[in-house]
Amino acid sequence: MISFNRSQIIGAEFIDDDTIRFNGSQTDHIYNMEINMDVRISDGEIVKIEGDMKRYTNFVCPQAVPVLQTAVGMSLRTKDWDKAIMKEIGRKGCEHFAEIVIECGRCFEQALRSRDLYLALCTDPGLDQEAFLENWQPA
Amino acid sequence: MIVKFLRNKVVEVEPRKDGTLRVSWRLTDDLLKMEVNLVVQPPALEIIEATAELGRFVPKGLEDASEIIEDVEGVNIGAGLRKIVRGVLGGPEGQSLLSEAVLECCNAVILHFTRPGLEIGEALETDEERLEAVRAMVKSSPRLVRSCISFQDDSPIMKGLDL
Amino acid sequence: MIIDLHVHTWPKSQCSQIEPAELVLKAKEIGLDGFCLTEHQALWDLEDVKALAAGHGVKIFRGNEITTAQGDILVFGLEKDVQGVVTARALWKDVEEAGAFAIAAHPFRGFKTFGVGQLEMNLDQAAAKKVFKYVHAIEVRNGKVSDNDNALAAQVADKLGKPGTGGSDAHLIQDLGVHVTIFEQDIKDDAQLLAELHAGRFTAGALP
Ligand SMILES: [Zn+2]
Ligand SMILES: [Zn+2]
């Protein structure tokens, strides 16, 4: 049988032209937590973040929730942004929160690409999708 | 609001009769479908088999992922893992997808081994006993120190712990 | 002569929080005769080391900690600038050509959340780790691992007939000197350190 399983689900809403809202959750045999975070599309800056820790391993863990606010102002477009998240949110707070924030961050460009392809297909259902993605540039 | 993008990821560890651990990692989102499978051999936690498969819109540099990933065969899950896996699979931009997937597989193996210890702690009756169990864990795992908020110097777990 | 053979400083090792200047003072304070700067894949310049040591009465030597696909290896007497992740076998070739000395660093470092003990590795399995084929010695006292991890390394060194070394692997100043290597001779420079390592005239230990 399975001895350990972890699932991550990341969803991206576009709440206005310049804001993407991620909802990320991570559930495994040991932990369960969730993040909501808004990112400004034009510069990749995290503008808002909240988290909920549902299942964890010791009584100190929930103190990592306020540490999440350090992510506000950090940009997903700076070099080694993921290392910075792991250091500031992970080591000083909770590694598993950091894992979700990082997965949201990794979805940033992919989500923009998805939205643009989806919208392009709405107006041109016969679009060459490969070619569209090949030529895709962030607006 | 309807999302314009959804990613689903799952990694699972399955101990097998021959003593190996089978790790299966899968990702699916609007644009990408990806699968990584490892076979890990205890006690050295050597990766003895690694395969990868990508589909839908495959990012540049990952067309040969199934070949590239073979380079982690022989690597042990242990000290320096991140640097080794990123070094071995590193290359053009976008390929980090593959190294990060392998690292997440390895992390799942580590959590597979972490689970029994946590279960023992959880079965303890009192808060004091549980606190002692966490402290014993810190004492036997020096790398836990300052690894997250629970193990910072001013945490109630660490206070009074002479390391 | 008591030397901490494994020390990291910032910024050459980005993971370290130790300033080179404070290291010299601390070494003197705790009674080390010397220490060896073993940054992650970076070798100190000889002149810089001389300047750092000047007037303090503490000897500073130069090594290098190389990440190989089979584990971390401390090398002494290897001037080559090794970048990226190499195999232990490839590094061994360089080491032999240069007459350098290689030590398997913390070969059994446990995980954050569990020790290697939990893997129930027997001595034969432990000794079969590939990295041991490509080193002269094994670090049997490392400051970043648990006592159990060190004990296993010591047993393996014994079994393989390889000498054991000690080093703090300090990344924080308070960790300097928690483990050391005790040399029989007084050592004045890198060349002599290399000779004493090859001669095997040392043991792993602790400060008195
Ligand atoms: Zn380091
Ligand atoms: Zn080191």
Structure tokens at C19: 């300033």
Which residues are paired to B6 by β-bridges? A11
Cβ atoms of C101 and C136 within 8 Å: the answer is yes
Compute the residue count for chain C.
208
Contacts of A106 in chain B (CB under 8 A): 100
The secondary structure element, H or E, covering residue C21 is helix C20-30
Contact (Cβ atoms closer than 8 angstroms) between residue C137 and residue C164? yes
**For residues C119-135, average pLDDT:** 92
Tell me how far apart the alpha carbons of residues C74 and B107 are, in angstroms, rounded to a whole number: 26
Q: Which pair of structure tokens corresponds to residue A123?
A: 């107006």
User: C113: pLDDT confidence band, cut at 50, 70 and 90?
Assistant: confident
**Rounded Cα–Cα distance for residues C68 and C62 (Å):** 19
Same domain, B20 and B87: yes
Low-confidence ranges of chain B (pLDDT < 50): none
Tokens of B96: 């980090």
Read off the pLDDT band of A26 (50, 70, 90): very high
Q: Work out the average pLDDT over C76-81.
A: 96
Q: What is the pLDDT of residue B163?
A: 63
* Nearest residue to C167 via CA among C150, C155, C184: C150
* Whole-number Cα distances in Å, B153 to B121, B144, B145: 22, 11, 8
Q: Which tens digits make up the pLDDT trace of C29-58?
A: 999 999 999 999 999 999 999 999 998 999
Task: Answer whether residue B121 is part of any domain.
Answer: no
Global pTM value:
0.88
Least distant ligand from the CA of C168: 2
Give the DSSP letter string of B102-152: HHHHHHHHHHHHHHHHHHHHHT-SSHHHHHHHHHHHHHH-GGGTTSSGGGS
- Do B59 and B132 lie in one domain? The reply is no
Peptide bond preceding B43 in cis form (omega within 30 of 0): yes
- Residue B42 in any domain: the answer is yes
Nearest CA in chain A to B56: A130
Q: Give residues whose Cβ lies within 5 Å of ion ligand 2.
A: C 65, 169
- Tell me which DSSP letter residue C84 carries: S
Q: What local confidence, expressed as pLDDT, does residue B48 receive? A: 94
Structural domain range at position B130: 126-163
What number is the average pLDDT over the span C112-125? 87
Residue B97, domain member (yes or no): yes
Same domain, B105 and B134: no
What is the CATH number for B65?
3.30.390
Among the listed residues B68, B67, B23, B72, the one whose alpha carbon sits nearest the alpha carbon of residue B47: B72
What's the CA-to-centroid distance between C45 and ligand 1, angstroms?
A: 19
Residues B16 and B87 in one domain: yes
Q: With contact defined as beta carbons under 8 Å apart, do B40 and B77 qualify?
A: yes
**The pLDDT of residue C114:** 85
Kindly state whether residue B2 falls inside one of the protein's structural domains. no
- pLDDT for the residue numbered A139: 74
Q: Minimum mean pLDDT among B27-31, C108-112, C170-174: which range?
A: C108-112
Tokens representing residue A86 in the block? 């792991």
**Chain B positions in Cβ-Cβ contact with residue C72 (cut-off 8 Å):** 79-80
Residue B1 in any domain: the answer is no
Q: What angle do CA B150, B156, B161 make, to 5 degrees?
A: 95
Which chain C residue lies closest to B91 (C-alpha atoms)? C84
Least confident of A44-58, A108-122, B118-132, C185-199: B118-132
Interface of C to B at Cβ within 8 Å reads 67-72, 84-85, 105-107, 109-115, 118-122, 125, 128-130, 144-146, 148
pLDDT at residue B79, rounded to an integer: 83
Neighbours of chain A (3+ CB pairs under 8 A): B
Q: What percent of chain B has pLDDT over 90?
A: 67
Q: Give the pLDDT confidence score for residue B142 in this predicted structure.
A: 82
Probe site for chain A from B7, B21, B106, B115 (most A CB atoms < 10 A): B7
Q: State whether residue B8 sits within 8 Å of chain C by CB.
A: no
Kindly state whether residues B18 and B84 are assigned to the same domain: yes
Mean per-residue pLDDT for C105-111?
A: 91
Q: Tell me the residue range of the domain where C83 lies.
A: 2-205
Instruction: Indicate the residue of B45, B79, B88 with minimum beta-carbon distance to C71.
Output: B79
Question: Residue B73 falls within a domain, yes or no?
Answer: yes
Structurally, chain B folds into a number of domains equal to 2
Answer yes or no: do B28 and B93 share one domain: yes
Chain B environment of C114 (Cβ under 8 Å): 110, 113-114, 117, 141
**Residue B137 sits in the same domain as residue B89:** no
Inter-chain touch C114–B42, beta carbons under 8 Å: no
Report d(CA B111, CA B91) in Å as an integer.
28
Q: Residue C167: nearest ligand to its CA? A: 2
Average model confidence (pLDDT) across chain C: 95
Cis peptide leading into C11, omega within 30 of 0? yes
Banded pLDDT at C97 (limits 50, 70, 90):
very high
Whether residue B108 sits in one domain with residue B157: no
**The two structure tokens encoding residue B119:** 């279960």
Ligand nearest to the CA of C105: 2
d(CA B29, CA C164): 51
Ligand 2 centroid vs C40 CA: distance in angstroms?
A: 7
CATH number of the domain that C197 lies in?
A: 3.20.20.140
Residues of A in contact with B149 (CB under 8 A): 60-61, 63-64, 67, 92-94
| pLDDT value for C110 | 84
Q: Which of B121, C114, B108 is nearest to A59 (CA)?
A: B121
A94-107: average pLDDT: 97
Measured distance CA(B127)–CA(B92) in Å, rounded: 50
CA separation, residue C124 to residues A65, A139, B44, C128 (Å)? 46, 59, 11, 6
Query: Do B81 and B11 belong together in one domain?
Result: yes
Do B28 and B85 lie in a common domain? yes
Secondary structure E strands in C44-115: 59-68, 71-76, 101-104
Residue B119 within a domain: no
Give yes or no: residues B105 and B67 share one domain: yes
Give the three-class secondary structure for A57: coil
Residue B46 lies in a domain: yes
pLDDT score, position B161: 77
Residues of chain B found within 8 Å of residue A91, distances taken between Cβ atoms: 146-148
Q: Which residue of chain B is at minimal alpha-carbon distance from C66?
A: B80
Domain total in chain C: 1
Domain check: are B28 and B83 in the same one?
A: yes
Touching partners of C (3+ C-beta pairs < 8 Å): B
